[in-house]
Structure 1
Amino acid sequence: MTVWDRPEPPTQPVPLDRERIVEAAIALADEGGLAAVSVRKVAARLDAGPMRLYRYISTKEELFDLMVDVVQAEIRPEEQPGDWREASRTLARRTRQASLRHEWLADLLGGRPAMGPNGLAVTEATLTAFDGLADVDTVMRAVETVSAYFIGAIRREIANLRAERATGLSKHEWQRASGPHVTRMLATGRFPALAKAVYDGTDVDAETSFETGLEWVLDAVALKLTRPST
């Protein structure tokens, strides 16, 4: 029985329910990442005994599942997107925006499918936009391909943000600090392709990079969704 199917215990003198538990866990994660979330810390934030929380959740993994589903409500589109490209863009962009608000989400993306009500609604909206375009296996591979792109891009962006905080250096400050070493290495002539990228490439921000890559992936998926002439 999943955590969503299991009934909550009767109300105790100090009010407690899964919604309050998850809200407290998300607040802790927003402040300090997933490492800051434990049953003991959530219980302390709610001024409750840790054992009481185990009447509502069985494991920390269940708590993470509930946290993700709450954030899936932020990702879920308000209206059904008009076509598969717009549905894919909406899913990618809203997942990125949610991950920038809740950086811990990036650590939980890409695992087993989200089975909570909001996660299922997001998947339903996405698959509905592909209805009638191709057989179900092709559609599933298309959705997986787009998801693999934006999850990877989001994780890279979040990793860079964390690195900036850890080092105290922005992207450009880090590049300047690393410049002498990179210049010496490129001057050896051993890395001509990298040298061309460094000296001739255009530096773009994370959002531009994300949007460009997304459109390229959607263009590639579109070729697979094109029906052969009959």
Structure 2
Amino acid sequence: MARGRAGDPDHAVELLWREGGARPRQGLSLDRIVRAGVALADAEGLAGLSMRKVAERLGFTTMSLYRHVPGRDQLIDLMCDEVAAEAGAAPEEGDWRTRLEACAREGWELRRRHPWLAEVRGGRHIPGPHAIARYERMLSAVVDTGLTPAEVIAVVGLVGRFLDSEALLLVEAAEAERRSGVSHEEWWGGRDALFERLPAYPTITRLWEEGGFDDPEDPFEFGLARLLDGISLMIHERYESRDETGVCTVCGTPVDQPASGRPRAYCSPSCRQRAYRRRRSGGA
């Protein structure tokens, strides 16, 4: 019985790659279980996911599910890989920033459709083939920028954590609204007792009067842009500190270096002009 292998990470790998899985019995299959788990988590969040509830959705006993998947943790791993398959192929052309930004937006849309993804915490969840393919695309976007291998991995991890942190805010807001029956806007709209005390704080008052709270920046858009700016600055600094042959700090294209003289920092005049405009405007 699969349940007896609940603590076996290698069995989780076999399940994710659908190797040696149990054959469907009376219409029940691993794929059906996973899809039912995704639908349940989409509706109730990860806290509402249980083997019993999945079995009820499918019209089977809980024990029948254990013939296919050993437990809830393994089911979550399978669900994560199932939704990762929804992601389209990221662009293979363009500079590193264009490609990494496309991957980040793709990940954000996945989390908006399936907010529970951000609730999957901890470092011992086994990734499946679709999740690994997404990770591969993100790494490939940055690997030729001149960063060290460890920095490439750290950059991709940083982007992933940013996506999860922003998505968790959506999860928490939705859960609070479910519990209270009051929307986020309605709840804050009723905080007159708090607002009456804010004039005692001059900076808050000034920003309020100047309209700073009327049309706030989109947290995801603002955060992603600043994150990419910081990565761009790091790439530029790493390249400037190197003497060996490298890649264009703007687009990541390999740069043919002259046999003598000053090393070239850019692959073309257009990239040199783009870098110059960024420095003039204060950007990375």
1:140-163 CA-to-partner distances (Å, cap 9, x unmatched) read 221122222222112113322333
Percent sequence identity over aligned pairs: 32
In structure 2, how many angstroms separate the alpha carbons of the residues matched to 1:192 and 1:89? 38
Which of the pair is proportionally richer in helix?
A: 1
Unaligned runs of 5+ in 2: 1-9, 244-284
**Does residue 184 of structure 2 align to residue 174 of structure 1?**
no
Describe the shift of the 1:171–1:46 C-alpha distance in structure 2 as closer, same or farther (beyond 3 A).
closer
1:171-195 CA-to-partner distances (Å, cap 9, x unmatched) read 43333211x22222213x2x33333
TM-score (norm 1): 0.85
2:109 counterpart letter in structure 1? Q
Show the counterpart of 1:3.
12
Show the counterpart of 1:120.
132
1:36 counterpart letter in structure 2? G
1:112 CA drift (Å): 4.7
Give the 3-state SS of the residue equivalent to 1:105 in structure 2: helix
Show the counterpart of 1:216.
226
Contact 2:100 2:142 in 1 (8 A): no
Describe the shift of the 1:197–1:144 C-alpha distance in structure 2 as closer, same or farther (beyond 3 A).
farther
Unaligned runs of 5+ in 1: none
1:92-129 CA-to-partner distances (Å, cap 9, x unmatched) read 22222222222222211675565101110000000011
Q: Which has the higher contact order (CA 8 A, sep 6+)?
A: 1
In structure 2, how many angstroms separate the alpha carbons of the residues matched to 1:111 and 1:75? 22
Contact 1:138 1:225 in 2 (8 A): no
Give the 3-state SS of the residue equivalent to 1:51 in structure 2: helix
In structure 2, how many angstroms separate the alpha carbons of the residues matched to 1:110 and 1:199? 43
TM-score (norm 2): 0.70
Structure 1 residue runs of 4+, over 6 Å off? none
Aligned counterpart for 2:66 among listed residues 34, 37, 54: 54
Show the counterpart of 1:142.
155
In structure 2, how many angstroms separate the alpha carbons of the residues matched to 1:112 and 1:205? 37
Instruction: State the Cα RMSD in Å.
Output: 2.4
**Does residue 38 of structure 2 align to residue 26 of structure 1?**
yes
In structure 1, how many angstroms separate the alpha carbons of the residues matched to 2:42 and 2:170? 17
In structure 2, how many angstroms separate the alpha carbons of the residues matched to 1:48 and 1:193? 60
In structure 2, how many angstroms separate the alpha carbons of the residues matched to 1:9 and 1:164? 40
Show the counterpart of 1:74.
86
Describe the shift of the 1:89–1:158 C-alpha distance in structure 2 as closer, same or farther (beyond 3 A).
farther
Show the counterpart of 1:186.
198
1:35 CA drift (Å): 2.8
Describe the shift of the 1:61–1:197 C-alpha distance in structure 2 as closer, same or farther (beyond 3 A).
farther
1:4 counterpart letter in structure 2? V
